[in-house]
Amino acid sequence: MKPIEKIGILTGGGDCSGLNAVIAGITKAAINKYNLEVIGYVKGYSGLYDNDFIELNTDTVSGIQHRGGTLLKSSNKDNLFNYRVQKPDGSYANEDVSDVAIENMKKEGVDALIVIGGDGTLTSARDFKRKGVPVVGVPKTIDNDLPATDVTFGYNTALEAIVDGLDKIHTTAYSHDRVMVVEVMGRHTGWLALEGGLSGSADVILIPEIPYDLSYVVEKVKQRDRTGKNFSVIVVSEGAKEKDGAVHVERVVEDSADSVRLGGIGRKITDDLEQMIDNHEVRYTNLSYLQRGGKASQFDRMLGVRYGVSALDLLMQGGAGKMVRYRGRDITSVPLEDVVGSGDTGETSEGGAKYVDPDGQMVQAAKGIGINFGDE
């Protein structure tokens, strides 16, 4: 492999706090430690396809570590191995345009890529490595559901947003003797709801890993009433489902790599509870994208910078085809194919998503202080 003199960075998938810290960490270390040139592709893989980029230097990344979102912007719809292109007759078709991206890299003298993203983004990173592009991945998701790493940046900031929201919801719940249903993100795992609800003094937490029966939730509300606590706060993960039920799909985005969008289960639960509880108003709040934005927490700033510097070190030490990960208190690495799988079976070597253990310590601690999960 030829010596690396110039690298490209891109961010794909949903935004989250800590992305700018990663970008700053990569850029500053590339210049200060390795004397490299750095560019950032705009809007993820679409920027790589359109050759749309900005130069990154110590000035462009100065003072961005705390900022939410991503300096480079992002997209969660662009898979260059199955990209929607317009034909001369005006029709559209999906094609493999990855060679266009590789030629753009060659034209600009970009020797390697550092790709920051989740499942879909890292799957494409794996595929570019197979085509000979030196690439290193950095894991990104606020859902904390990647099994290859203990924690992802953005998760801690999202939890802080949830706890702040619950603190505020509590005051109006108490003042009006209301049952407040708060929906949070998480896809098919309940980490955000569990840790956020436990820290935010929720009375009920409903997560995908523990299918719920609303009759138990109603009984929890009545139990609180009997003890003089005439309000309740219920935290619902967007992937929660009723016993023998299915997840609530908000919509399907056909041109997205992750086409099924969950959401709205909190509204359904609110409507159902209004029919089952006759002495309380039931109100619904969806924290939605408030969980993604805002200043990055101290932990996510620190983790982002460490991820960025470690990703660059890994690349320069011949670790192309791997992803950095947080294990214990150390940054280590793992092959991308162990994270997103080989593509042959659709399964990952590390066992798929990282789910909450219903019998684990955190759930048991929550139950120990009286939090109900709709299962008993």
Bridge partners of 54, per DSSP, are 40
Q: Which of 297, 117, 273, 257 is nearest to 182 (CA)?
A: 273
CA distance 151 to 13: 17
HEC string for the chain: CCCCCEEEEEECCCCCCCHHHHHHHHHHHHHHCCCCEEEEECCCHHHHHHCCEEEECCCCCCCCCCCCCCCCCCCCCCCCCCEEEECCCCCEEEECCHHHHHHHHHHHCCCEEEEEECHHHHHHHHHHHHCCCCEEEEEECCCCCCCCCCCCECHHHHHHHHHHHHHHHHHHHHHHCCEEEEEECCCCCCHHHHHHHHHCCCCEEECCCCCECHHHHHHHHHHHHHCCCCCEEEEEECCCCECCCCCCEEEECCCCCCCEEECCHHHHHHHHHHHHCCCCCEEEEECHHHHCCCCCCHHHHHHHHHHHHHHHHHHHCCCCCEEEEEECCEEEEEEHHHHHCCCCCCCCCCCCCCCCCCCCHHHHHHHHCCCECCCC
143 is catalytic: yes
Place of tokens 């961005």: 64
Q: Distances from the Cα of 305 to the Cαs of 14, 124, 313, 376, in angstroms?
A: 19, 23, 12, 43
Q: What angle do CA 107, 108, 109 make, to 5 degrees?
A: 95
* Neighbouring-strand partners of residue 101: none
Active-site residue, selected from the candidate residues 119, 143, 203, 300: 143
Active site residues: 143
